[in-house]
Amino acid sequence: MTELERMGQRAKEAARVLATAGAKKDAALLHAADALEQEMETILEANEQDLAAARERGMSQAMLDRLALNPGRIQGMANGIREVAAQADPIGRVLEGSVRPNGLRTAKVSVPLGAIGMIYEARPNVTADAAALCLKAGNAVILRGGKEAIRSNTAIAETLRKAVAAKGLPEDSIQLVQDTTRESSVAMMGLTGYLDVLIPRGGAGLIRSVVENSRVPVIETGVGNCHVYVDGHADLDMAAEIVFNAKTSRPSVCNAIETVLVHRDVAEKFLPEMKRKLDEKQVELHGCPITREILGDSVVPAAEEDWETEYLDYKLAVKVVESFDEAVKHIRNYSSGHSEAIVTEDYRAAERFTAEVDAAAVYVNASTRFTDGGEFGLGAEIGISTQKLHARGPMGIQQLTSTKFVIKGDGQIR
Amino acid sequence: MTELERMGQRAKEAARVLATAGAKKDAALLHAADALEQEMETILEANEQDLAAARERGMSQAMLDRLALNPGRIQGMANGIREVAAQADPIGRVLEGSVRPNGLRTAKVSVPLGAIGMIYEARPNVTADAAALCLKAGNAVILRGGKEAIRSNTAIAETLRKAVAAKGLPEDSIQLVQDTTRESSVAMMGLTGYLDVLIPRGGAGLIRSVVENSRVPVIETGVGNCHVYVDGHADLDMAAEIVFNAKTSRPSVCNAIETVLVHRDVAEKFLPEMKRKLDEKQVELHGCPITREILGDSVVPAAEEDWETEYLDYKLAVKVVESFDEAVKHIRNYSSGHSEAIVTEDYRAAERFTAEVDAAAVYVNASTRFTDGGEFGLGAEIGISTQKLHARGPMGIQQLTSTKFVIKGDGQIR
């Protein structure tokens, strides 16, 4: 039995206790939040060591920023855990049920998934967020973060484990894999029989690798090649605001847009207005030939790969389309199924767009940046699913549950 | 591009049309049901060829029975399709939604999964059942049945395709893979980008192979190592009826039981009573040492593998346990998570059993044989999921859907 299999076995054992732990889970979470604040110094020291090692390896400033903790960020983690504790228990809800003609009473009840594996990259706050969400939904979790953050993650996980144990729940409710080589990640993908689901969270490369290779069921998250389509009947000022917001408010996240599609009828008027705003943030445009005719040579000629790329940067692809249908067809070809928006004042275009575009979130006259558990009123999220099975869109604690049928009778036979 | 990839592409295209087909789907289904009856002769001829070939290969009588069609069975398929058509459309339901503080209106709406792959074995009625359920839920389906039934399946699928096309829906809503070698099955497991989900339906070997090898998300179905636990406070007459029914009413199905666990306190009284009933059907008992002490040497000594085996036959493993906890622990170790039952008059034992036993369906004082979409009031089923992700227990048309968030605004930015 490998070390990871032993962890898997301990996770299963812990999950069994968590499944019926009820309000103990909230007590443990609140205690864990306090503990993070009390252990702030230890966690910051561990993080300082991670940062020093990362600087030595020549990590970019942007990546160092993601890795860095400070008192405010630890406070943020603790408050995040308190918010999770404050949510209603997602376990034991009776979702539906009926009395059958033979008198059997059936009820479909929410239960935990069991043991969840998380594979993620640099940011240490994911350790606290994921642990809290999994625990609240009665699941044990095995966390496997990136090697850059291993000291920070270990300090956070140890703090959480002690806090959970202090409130009478198994400390193995939360486990962190110490081996951060590729091997441990591959081994987790084969941990059938122990893990009920594996959730990768990170860049497109990580997610593709997990989806392709895992034998444990996977929930695919987060890759976002998102579009705004500016219809022929759009309010153009609104469209310019939405494009500006969806591209520039935080370009590195999955719900930012990568391509704008503009209806031919409004392209001459809209594109210069859009460009004026985007110039404020030095957004680099990659345009189709008509876009370049209208906006001039400062626009980079767009190649096929521009329609396919999730820039995650101050870059935007622009295409003029002849019709609503061409816009929908382009989205169908290139969308990653994350978030798609139309800007229009036309009722039928709005209704057709929401019906015909196949994505986790489809918007009319709003920025794609709202695709987020908190913004949708679902509470904190463990990721945004871009698959159709089990969960789609922002995944909160409800999406970390399964169901069971409970059937009560008085001797019925078939 | 392989033939299967071309089929995948056509399925995606068909799925796009089906997603917004509304009531056309019911018209197509009703027409398909009529068509099956009209084409009865053609289908029976094709089935006769399958049967002749199977007899030549020396197929067992039980398997021949599963393969055989007759006018009654085709009528049954047609009526099954009519029942599916009569159900409410599972697509376009608004499942939840709210107005956010910024005025955004969010709605979570049910949508089809997209393109579904089915890999199944001998019975040709699965072709009609699966096609109807998938179509009703707005999904295109690629069917890959067993080689024994290829002529019957082809005749059925062609009839359905023509009927669907006659009502204005794409004939590629339903496609049948003609290649029934192992290769086509493996190729389907790699059809990511085309198939949204793969559902295997058949024996344990088939299902294990698909779960282990598929890169397309899988819904695991049907393997049932089910138990009845006769508690120390059971109504013993009721317990004997339930055991008899759960074992003998149809031993070859997944919701039949394979092991009975009996509390020590009632073993001496219960076991002879149970055996008397089971003797009527010549059920072969495999018992633990205490069982053999009580019932004598006609009981085969049970080995470890008896606790693990899904007999699907007139065989039953019997174990005497010292306590409720030992029973639950045995079930935890050996259950496939399908259907588990307790027989008891004790309130706390009943409540603990339903809370602590982790299975798709957990029963108090009823036969496990009720785990079935129709019996639960969910309509026809495409299979019984034994996994926790996406669907658990009998899967009807609701379980063949996904969701999308539709968000309407008037210019909101973040």
Contact B389 A390 (CB under 8 A): yes
Cβ under 8 Å to A: B residues 229-248: 235, 238, 241-242, 244-246
Minimum-distance CB partner of A407 among B111, B238, B361:
B361
Closest-CA distance of chain B to residue A217, Å: 7
Lowest mean pLDDT among A200-204, B51-55, B278-282: A200-204
Cβ under 8 Å to B: A residues 147-166: none
Alpha helices in A203-235 (DSSP H): 204-213
End-to-end, the C-alpha distance of chain B in Å comes to 43
Average pLDDT over residues B27-32: 98
Q: Does domain B3-220+387-408 have CATH number 3.40.50.2000?
A: no
pLDDT in tens, B346-399: 999 999 999 999 999 999 999 999 999 989 988 889 999 999 999 999 999 999
End-to-end, the C-alpha distance of chain A in Å comes to 43
Token representation of residue A196? 């009920």
Q: What is the pLDDT of residue A145?
A: 96
User: From CA B410, how far away is CA B414, in angstroms rounded?
Assistant: 13
The residue of A192, A248, A404 whose CB has the most chain B CBs within 10 angstroms, and thus the best one to mutate to test that interface, is: A404
Residue A226 parent element (H or E): strand A226-230
In sequence order, the 6+-apart residues with CB closer than 8 A to the CB of B351 are none
The residue of A254, A339, A389, A400 whose CB has the most chain B CBs within 10 angstroms, and thus the best one to mutate to test that interface, is: A389
User: From CA B258, how far away is CA B224, in angstroms rounded?
Assistant: 8
Confidence of residue A379 (pLDDT cuts 50, 70, 90): confident
Q: What is the pLDDT of residue B26?
A: 98
pLDDT in tens, A21-35: 999 999 999 999 999
User: From CA B142, how far away is CA B148, in angstroms rounded?
Assistant: 18
Closest-CA distance of chain B to residue A358, Å: 8
Crossing angle of the two packed helices B264-279 and B236-248, in degrees rounded to 10? 50
Q: Does A354 contact B at CB distance below 8 Å?
A: yes
Dihedral angle of Cα A389, A395, A400, A404, to the nearest 10 degrees: -50
Q: What is the pLDDT of residue B171?
A: 98
Minimum-distance CB partner of A364 among B108, B390, B408:
B408
Q: What is the pLDDT of residue B32?
A: 98
Average pLDDT over residues B302-319: 96
Q: Taking Cα atoms as reference points, which of B330, B362, B325, B316 lies closest to residue B343?
A: B362
Cβ under 8 Å to A: B residues 84-123: 98, 100, 104, 106, 108, 111, 113-114
Closest-CA distance of chain A to residue B371, Å: 9
Q: Taking Cα atoms as reference points, which of B236, B313, B241 lies closest to residue B277?
A: B241
Contact B105, B407 (CB under 8 A): yes
Could you state, in order of their start, the residue ranges of all structural domains in chain B? 3-220+387-408, 226-370
User: From CA B393, how far away is CA B337, in angstroms rounded?
Assistant: 9
Question: What class, spelled out in words, does domain A226-370 have in CATH?
Answer: alpha beta
User: From CA B232, how far away is CA B342, in angstroms rounded?
Assistant: 11
HSE of A91 in the Cβ direction (CA atoms, 13 Å)?
A: 23
Amino acid at B362: V
Q: Taking Cα atoms as reference points, which of B169, B196, B186 lies closest to residue B8?
A: B196
Strand-pair partners of B96:
B108
Q: What is the pLDDT of residue B66?
A: 87
Q: Taking Cα atoms as reference points, which of B88, B123, B93 lies closest to residue B107?
A: B93
Contact A358, A246 (CB under 8 A): no
Q: Taking Cα atoms as reference points, which of B374, B278, B396 lies closest to residue B287?
A: B278
Tell me the ipTM for this assembly.
0.93
Q: What is the pLDDT of residue A162?
A: 98
In 10 A of CB B398, how many CB atoms? 17
Q: What is the pLDDT of residue B313?
A: 93
Percent of chain B with pLDDT over 70: 100
The full DSSP string for A257-271 is EEEEEEEHHHHHHHH
In 10 A of CB A7, how many CB atoms? 24
Amino acid at B29: L
Beta strands A300-301 and A284-287: pairing type? parallel
Percent of chain A with pLDDT over 70: 100
Q: What is the average pLDDT score of chain B?
A: 96
Contact A114 B361 (CB under 8 A): no
pTM for this predicted structure: 0.93
- Kindly tell me the burial class for residue A45, based on how many C-beta atoms sit within 10 Å of its own C-beta (0-12, 13-18, 19 or more): middle
Going by the DSSP 8-state scheme, the letter that residue B298 receives in this structure is T
Alpha helices in B260-323 (DSSP H): 264-279, 289-295, 304-308
Percent of chain B with pLDDT over 90: 91
Amino acid at B36: L
Token representation of residue B229? 């636990």
Q: Taking Cα atoms as reference points, which of B131, B35, B17 lies closest to residue B84?
A: B131
Alpha helices in A322-396 (DSSP H): 324-334, 347-356
Confidence of residue B241 (pLDDT cuts 50, 70, 90): very high
pLDDT in tens, A168-210: 999 999 999 999 999 999 999 999 889 999 999 988 888 889 9
Question: Which residues in chain A touch residue B408, judged by CB atoms under 8 angstroms apart?
Answer: 350, 354, 363-366
Contact A360, A369 (CB under 8 A): no
In sequence order, the 6+-apart residues with CB closer than 8 A to the CB of B91 are B19, B22, B110, B111, B112, B137, B138, B401
Alpha helices in A144-263 (DSSP H): 150-166, 182-189, 204-213, 236-248
The full DSSP string for A156-170 is HHHHHHHHHHHTTS-
Query: With 90 as the cut, is the pLDDT of residue B121 above it?
Result: no
Closest-CA distance of chain B to residue A413, Å: 5
